[in-house]
Amino acid sequence: MKINNVKDLLAVVPKEQKEAMDYFIRNHQAKEVKYESKYNGISLHSPALGIYKPGYSDYVLSVKETLKGHYPDQPIYTAEDGKCFYLYHQQGETLEEHTTLNANVALNRNIKNKVPVGVSIQQEGKGRSGSTYNIYVSLVIGWVEGFYILYFADDNGDFDIDVYKLNIHDIYNSIMDQGQTTKLEENNEFDPGSIADARKKIQRSIIQRQGQPKFRQELLTAYEEKCVITECNVLEVLEAAHIVPYQGTETNVVQNGLLLRGDIHTLWDRYLISVNPDTYKVHVHTSLMDSEYAQYEGKKVSLPTLEMEKPSYKALLNHHEEFRKSNNNF
């Protein structure tokens, strides 16, 4: 089943926003379009910010990526079935800013009510008058670790609503893997000048990955500052992992968290390692049984002393079922 008419999805937005979105609909998938600040007298972008929420609307109208932007937006990713996705960084760096800054709050509203967003990605040129952009129409389908996941309409301008059944963490990981490969191919020569910017991005990534400070601190206390699986006690590599993927501050509760070493957290998010909710024993995916991670197969995890801090049975069951789907041995 498809949502065939983008304009039907704009029923909840003001007249001005509908008219402005007509620009993106008409130019969907157009390449190297000369920059336009207005369409029929209505602003299309924010002059200073990447995310544009008009004052007359509760929703974001457009997002813009520029060549000199300081956020690590990722290249467009095309899945095997032809669907195209794009990671666009939130405004600000922290999880708190994700839920408090006006632009992010508005984009979260776009997600909730399936309101389309125009996308402009700069290709070349300097300044507004000399710049060209690739133009798209998208739906914002989720948020993961500081990035909004945008799903582009197909060649006919249609949205497949089955996209909402996909695991957004899998999409995120696929895009990030592609992004790292692209960067290695494009930057095959060491550039000392890039070190400072790279260090900032790494530090920002670590902070986001470790989790919201309060949530992480609660898990550090509950699990006595040790990884629940490896028993590693090096604070710098311990991360606040969600059992049920992060979907807002309401999922930042101890019962929906585990304290995991960074590499174990990655395997956890990819359903390559899990904990049986009935036995509290660790299970490792068959693809990892010839690796160093095989040593944790069958290991029983240590639980917090307080009953209220122990992981949710339902949350662990949800994760373990996803793990089993891709692992024929369980």
Residue 266 has a pLDDT of 87
DSSP letter for each residue of 9-57: HTTTS-HHHHHHHHHHHHTTT--SEEP-SEETTEE-S-SS-SEE--TT-
Options 2.30.280, 1.10.8, 3.30.750, 1.10.357; CATH for 2-184 is 2.30.280
Give 258's strand partners.
241
Residue 195 has a pLDDT of 46
Domain coordinates of the chain in residue numbers? 2-184, 211-325
Structure tokens at 49: 């910010």
Average pLDDT for 110-121? 94
Q: Is the CA virtual torsion 161, 141, 136, 47 positive or negative?
A: positive
CA dihedral 58, 211, 279, 306 (to 10 degrees): -100
Which stretches of 157-312 are DSSP H helices? 168-186, 195-210, 213-222, 262-269
Task: Report the mean per-residue pLDDT for the chain.
Answer: 85
* Percentage of residues in the chain having pLDDT higher than 70: 85
Residue 60 has a pLDDT of 97
**Cα atoms found within 13 Å of the Cα of residue 168, Cβ hemisphere only:** 20
Average pLDDT for 206-221? 71
Name which residue leads in pLDDT, 197 or 301.
301
Pairing of strands 147-152, 84-89: antiparallel
User: Which residue, among 126, 108, 2, has the nearest Cα to 60 in the 3D structure?
Assistant: 108
CA–CA separation, 288 and 271 (whole Å):
12
Q: Tokens 């984009």 identify what position?
A: 107
